[in-house]
Amino acid sequence: MRLTNSNRFRPLCRILLAALTGLLATSAFAQSVEPSPADLRLVPQNEAQIKLSFAPVVKQVAPAVVNVYASRKVVRRQRVSPFMEDPFFRRFFGQPGGRPSQPRERVESSLGSGVIITSDGTVITNHHVIKGADEVRVALSDRREFDADIVLMDERTDLAVLKIREEGPFEHVSFADSDSLEVGDIVLAIGNPFGVGQTVTQGIVSALARTQVGVTDFQFFIQTDAAINPGNSGGALVDMTGNLVGINTAIFSRSGGSNGIGFAIPAHMARFVAQAADQGGKVRRPWLGATVQMVNAEIAEALSLDRPQGVLVTAVFDGSPAHKAGLEVSDLVIAIEGKEVVDPNSFGYRFATKMIGETSEFRIVREGQEVSLSVPLVPAPETVPRDTRQLREYSPFEGTTVMNLSPAVAEEIGLEGVFEGVVIAAVSRGGAANQVGMRPGDIIRVVNSKKVESTRMLEAITKTPPRVWRLEIERDGKLSKLEVR
């Protein structure tokens, strides 16, 4: 009888056993899968959770955040009256012993912050913190101070890399994946605002991929309401794991103090510059050889898009990496490496942070069909010698440094889609060019009806000045005509 009953329920037992086994297997599998960062984000559930402290994160990160002191010597000559050339006047009006006035040397200094990113003392900070510095010194949170060497300065990203002269090891922070940040994530800003010493402020990520800030050439900023004030520049923006998500760089302020809108350069860009410093001390960005434009509502409608997205390719240059990859005019680039592209700034950021020698995967839309392209990453070529010249003859170009344009020079200066002609690389303050209003990046097209084809030709023109200078200057893609007497 018992045997008969057990046989009767044996199928049901098998079903229950199979279900239980499947449940246990599912539970074990669930425990073996690592939760994603999004799954770990929790809202405080009770008063005890609200009283939790950020102190452990601060203790972990603070030793790796340094104060950066930069100084430079400036020599200023006193303006001397013509009467002072006479020994009599020099004797009785302020020059002992009748000696002429001597140049006065003054030391200018600036104060900012920095972050140690390696145990041997590599520090990343902002370019504007150490610009023009003759000496740089860093101070740790434990009040130790060390001299530091400038390894790399990159004005286009507003980043710089220093190396502490003392041997380590030093406390340092690790880079986070800044692309994983989301609006609403909690962040801490650590730095030295107003020179009062190291401080910590807390806030949230209030926006991502800000591209209209106007601080650097590659605009793709993290926006935060964590208080960032003067002196915070170059300091750390960290997440709740103590990893570096950004380098604090700028604030939106009319008073000079924090108004709750601060901007940080993403860690992805900072890591790229740090790698460049480690591989020769020069940033080498890939060259695309194509130009793109913003997609507005009208263009989106013409392309039958449901919304504006991506960037539209407007030109592709023969022999360029874009041309070799098969990119065509009117292609719509919607993603690079699987990351969405929303405007030319985000496009430039995604492409410029790739390393030379690799390939970049473009996702494009062509005639309504999505297509993938692999673009080789190569440096911009110097197709003609730059032949850098400083123009000192009296002319509208006095005080300029000029170069012959090539893709390499255009990339260095930050020009897009212009690869021939003569470009102004620098303008001195005291020269005639500065008074006329010329700027770095201006392209000199025509001088007195002569097309300017090289720096040598322009220098020769300045040596035979006419009564009236008639110039054609290209700036930001627009041609302007000037008349200088």
Q: How many residues are listed for the chain in this entry?
A: 485
Q: Which residues pair with 312 in a beta bridge?
A: 293, 332
Q: Scan for tokens 């860690």, then name that residue.
A: 267
Q: Give me the catalytic one of 110, 127, 128, 343.
A: 128
How far apart are the C-alpha atoms of 127 and 414, rounded to whole Å? 16
Pairing of the two strands 443-447 and 389-391: unpaired
Rounded-to-10 torsion of CA 89, 94, 96, 102: -100
Q: Scan for tokens 């009467």, then name that residue.
A: 83
- Pick from 107, 120, 214, 201: nearest CA to 158: 214
How far apart are the C-alpha atoms of 116 and 177, rounded to whole Å? 17
Rounded-to-10 torsion of CA 214, 219, 223, 227: -50
Distances in Å between the Cα of 324 and the Cα atoms of 125, 295, 367, 409 are 37, 24, 20, 21
How far apart are the C-alpha atoms of 223 and 182, rounded to whole Å? 11
Token pair for residue 202?
């807390």
Q: Identify whether the C-beta of residue 463 lies closer than 8 Å to the C-beta of residue 437.
A: no
158 as an active site residue: the answer is yes
Q: Scan for tokens 């003067």, then name that residue.
A: 230
Distances in Å between the Cα of 250 and the Cα atoms of 173, 253, 313 are 21, 9, 31
233 as an active site residue: the answer is yes
- Pick from 452, 459, 340: nearest CA to 394: 459
128 as an active site residue: the answer is yes
Q: Identify whether the C-beta of residue 250 lies closer than 8 Å to the C-beta of residue 213.
A: yes
Q: Give me the catalytic one of 158, 225, 331, 442.
A: 158
First-to-final CA distance of the chain: 122
Token pair for residue 354?
């790739």
How far apart are the C-alpha atoms of 51 and 331, rounded to whole Å? 53
Token pair for residue 125?
């900070």
Q: Give me the catalytic one of 113, 206, 233, 406.
A: 233
Q: What positions carry a catalytic annotation?
A: 128, 158, 233
